[in-house]
Amino acid sequence: MLIGLLLPFILITDISPFLRFGMFAEPVKKDMPVEHFMVKCQDESILEASKLGFSESNFYYLLRNYYYRDELIQFAGKLFQANQHLREVTIYRIEYNTKTLTGDTVSLGTFKR
């Protein structure tokens, strides 16, 4: 049991069912921008994660992963599979600096079914 507790700490990873407790541990750099994502549907309304079955945090966590893996096309494809009513989505990335209170919004692309 104690080995199970210590191994994730040493190897800096989760070894199910034993977990690494790195939440909030990462250092925050001065003036580090905070990023948000937003998905808009064909009618310009913002896609609500809860209507798809996601919690909001899980949805944006997943989207962020797909973005950094350069797999947004696959992400959009899966969104279309999960919701038959979606025909088109536009994904935005918003970078915001908490110190200077400045931000920048970039469209990452529009994807069609």
Which residues sit at the interface with other proteins, rule CB under 8 A? 1-2, 4-6, 9-28, 30, 32, 34, 52-54, 57-58, 61-62, 64-65, 68-70, 78, 81-82, 98
What is the nearest approach in angstroms of other proteins to the Cβ of residue 24?
6
Q: Which is nearer to other proteins, 40 or 64 (CB)?
A: 64
- For the chain, the distance separating the N- and C-terminal CA atoms, rounded to the nearest angstrom, is 49
Task: Kindly list the distances between the CA atom of residue 66 and the CA atoms of 2, 37, 42, 97, in Å, as whole numbers in the listed order.
Answer: 35, 12, 21, 23
Q: Which amino acid is at 29?
A: K
Is the distance from CB of 92 to CB of 46 less than 8 angstroms?
no
What is the nearest approach in angstroms of other proteins to the Cβ of residue 52?
6
Q: Which is nearer to other proteins, 34 or 73 (CB)?
A: 34
What is the nearest approach in angstroms of other proteins to the Cβ of residue 93?
13
Q: Which is nearer to other proteins, 56 or 107 (CB)?
A: 56
Residue 31, SS3 per DSSP:
coil
Q: Which is nearer to other proteins, 24 or 100 (CB)?
A: 24
What is the nearest approach in angstroms of other proteins to the Cβ of residue 54?
6
Q: How many CB atoms lie within 10 A of CB 11?
A: 10
Q: How many CB atoms lie within 10 A of CB 32?
A: 11
